[in-house]
Structure 1
Amino acid sequence: MDITVVGAGAMGGSYGGLLAAAGNRVRLIDTWQDHVDAINRDGLRVDGAHGEHRLRLAAATQPDANETADIVLLFTDTNGTADAARTIAGILSPAGFVVTSQNGIGNVETLEDVLGEGRVVGGSSMCSAATIGPGHVSLTHLGPTSVGEVRGGSSDRVDAFLAALEDAGFPSKPAPDIMAEIWQKFVVNCSANAVAAVTGLRSGEFVDIPDLMDYRVRVVEEVMAVLDAKGIALPDPELIKRICSGGRRMNRPSMLQHIRMGRKTEIDTLNGALVREAKALGIPVPYNEALVALLRGRELAQRRAVHEPDLDYEAWEASFTNADAA
């Protein structure tokens, strides 16, 4: 199978690397120049749940305009979905399609706006991964991957892609209603990602602070109130019980990883999207609103700490004082 991975960070690199190890032809596209350079120089290192691999793969920050892609596996941050869609439009073959396994909601719609109906397949991955450094990713947890046609059911192309995932070692299943699976992952992400990013804690540490677990439960209750109002039923009826009881999986959610690197997070397509949906429905969601506000503050503080470490706050304050005096 010929696969182009757009967004070859922690998740995209893990999937792309293991698909290549299983014999597929894989190309990697990622905007992080140091990562691309390391892959082209030393190969992609993938370790973790499926052992250690060093794979010689072609990587670039932009696709070759002379090449076409039959299958694109999209793992970019949701902030980059629109740009990624335009990139994909330039390389997708006439019968090609893109599988989106991104976080958040709205990605399918954004992709279809650019690529057209029928060119997008939905996916939901419950794996976890981390970027260790340029050219090095780790698959930290191996969970199920669901894939399905966005308007319901499976198809020959979905079945073929699922078979490739299974051969690469990813437990996979067809999803009769992939949009419900995407909403289900949205619930999981809303319950953990921003909480981890604001506090700096891994998911498995939440249970050590009862007040924090209570807050998380309130966040989930608000999410479910919105889904109930929209008539969305989760495929896993036990999910909410498991979330609210906590767990000891010591993964670092992607939003926590983004915060530590001083990057923009996906809050707008997770809890931020929940707040927008709630306002449209007239449903109060104060716990999610507070979480979004705190996350935005944490994001700004860390971005300045990483990218402006020499910022002189006293001089900055003085500039405002002088401006007011003038």
Structure 2
Amino acid sequence: MKIAILGAGALGCAIGAALTEAGNDVWLLNRSAAHIQAMARNGLRVDDGGGSRHVQVRTATRAAEAGAVDLVVVLVKSFHTDAAMRGALELIGPETLVLSLQNGLGHEDVLADIVGHERVLAGKTYVGCVMRNPGHIESGVAGKATYIGELDGRITARVAAIAKTFNAAGLITEVSDNIVGTMWDKLLVNVATGALTGTTGLTYGQLYDEPLLKATALAAIAEAIAVAQAAGVTLSASDPERPWTLAGEGLSPAFKTSMLQSLEKGSVTEIDFINGAVVRWGLRHSVPTPVNATLVACIKGIERAMIDRKKQEITA
């Protein structure tokens, strides 16, 4: 299968490396020239439980270099989705499918507006990875599940073919007949920890050691569950404790959420597609979400301060 990873950061590279080693024609697309050049020069260095190795991968900064593919896996940051897909239309051929594995809710609507609803598939992955340096990742593929599906819940041959390809590459993948529910399940995990660590600067170990923060997390999750239920979404669990436990399961106490990592790098976050999505859906279904709204406001305030500091540094 010819596959393009649109947004080949740490996670995209881990998935792309696995698919490449399984014999697929995989292109890793990223805007970072340093990252692309490092992989083109030395291959992608992958550190995992089996040690360290270099995987020879195909890379590009422009979609035209890859051309039309069978599958586009979208892994850009949420706020880049529209621009990234519009800038990569050379990847789209007559039969191309577009699969979002991004965090949060709302990407599928953005993608459908650009490539057409009939092409768009949804998914969630629990694979965890860290970018160590340009062209160098620490991969957490082993034992981590990925779920994909049609937005209307149908089990189709095209989704089954993608799952077969992923599984053959060691990416544990299941086809879901309730992918919207699966997306909400993952959203609850992100709601549990992302904004709280972003506002406090705490690692997972520190977060889970603070009872007051756990209470806030459970309240945010409970709001999200209430919104999902009002929207008719079928969740795998209705107890806020479950997403809270899942969020930190198997992670080092020193591990940082992606939201905190973004802020520490001076980047804006995906808050609008995580806690912000809960607030939007809550308004749509008349469910109050004061805890999530407060967390969104706090993160937006931190982002504003960060942007203002950058402006001051430029003019200084």
TM-score scaled to structure 1, two decimals? Answer: 0.87
Aligned equivalent of 1:53: 53
CA distance in 1, matches of 2:105, 2:46: 28
Report the Cα distance in structure 1 between the residues aligned to 2:132 and 2:263, rounded to whole angstroms: 15
The count of residues paired between Structure 1 and Structure 2 equals: 311
Q: 2: distance between equivalents of 1:104 and 1:50?
A: 31
The answer as to whether partners of 1:198 and 1:295 remain within 8 angstroms in 2 is yes
Q: Which deviates more from structure 2 when the two are superposed, residues 200-209 or residues 213-222?
A: 200-209
Q: Which amino acid aligns with 2:267?
A: R
* Aligned equivalent of 1:260: 264
CA displacement 1:206-250 (0-9 Å, x = unmatched)? 22111111111111111112112111121x227733234574523
**Which residue matches 1:198?**
199
Work out the CA distance in 2 between the residues paired with 1:141 and 1:205.
25
Residue pair 2:3, 2:24 contacting (<8 A) in 1 also? yes
Paired residues of 2:98 and 2:120 also in contact (CA < 8 A): yes
2 CA distance for matches of 1:238 and 1:274? 15
Determine the C-alpha separation between the residues in 1 that align with 2:238 and 2:282.
Answer: 24
Q: C-alpha separation between the residues in 2 aligned to 1:15 and 1:71?
A: 13
242-251 or 45-54, which deviates more: 242-251
Larger Rg: 1
**Deviation per residue, 1:294-316 (Å, 9 max, x gap):** 112223444566x569478xx8x
Shift of 1:36: 1.5
The residue aligned with 1:279 is 283
CA deviation profile, 1:117-159 (whole Å, cap 9, x unmatched): 2211111101111111211122246421011112213222212
Q: CA deviation at 1:40?
A: 1.6
Correspondence 1:16-35 to 2 at 5 A: 16-35=16-35
Identity of aligned residues (%): 32
Does structure 1 residue 294 correspond to structure 2 residue 298?
yes
Query: Amino acid of the residue matched to residue 195 of structure 2?
Result: A
Q: Is the 8 A contact 1:162 1:172 kept in 2?
A: yes
Structure 2 CA distance for aligned equivalents of residues 11 and 123 of structure 1: 14
Give the TM-score, by structure 2 length.
Answer: 0.90
Aligned to 1:90, the other structure's residue is in SS state: helix
Task: Please say which of residues 275-284 and 90-99 is displaced more in the overlay.
Answer: 275-284
Deviation of 1:66 (Å): 7.3
Q: Structure 1 residues 243 and 183 mapped into 2: Cα distance closer, same or farther (>3 Å)? A: closer
Q: Which residue of 2 aligns with 1:137?
A: 137
Structure-2 change in CA distance of 1:210 and 1:141 (3 Å): farther
Given that 2:189 and 2:244 are in contact with CA atoms closer than 8 Å, whether structure 1 keeps it comes out as no
Helix, strand or coil for the counterpart of 1:52? strand
What CA distance in whole angstroms lies between the structure 2 residues aligned with 1:285 and 1:218?
Answer: 9
Gaps of 5+ in 1: 316-326
- Give how far 1:52 is off: 2.7
- Offset at 1:201? 2.1
- Partners of 2:175 and 2:260 in 1: CA distance: 30
What CA RMSD, in Å, does the superposition of the two structures yield over aligned residues? 2.3
CA distance in 1 between counterparts of 2:15 and 2:3 reads: 11
C-alpha displacement of 1:256: 1.6
Give the match's secondary structure for 1:138: strand
2:209 aligns with 208
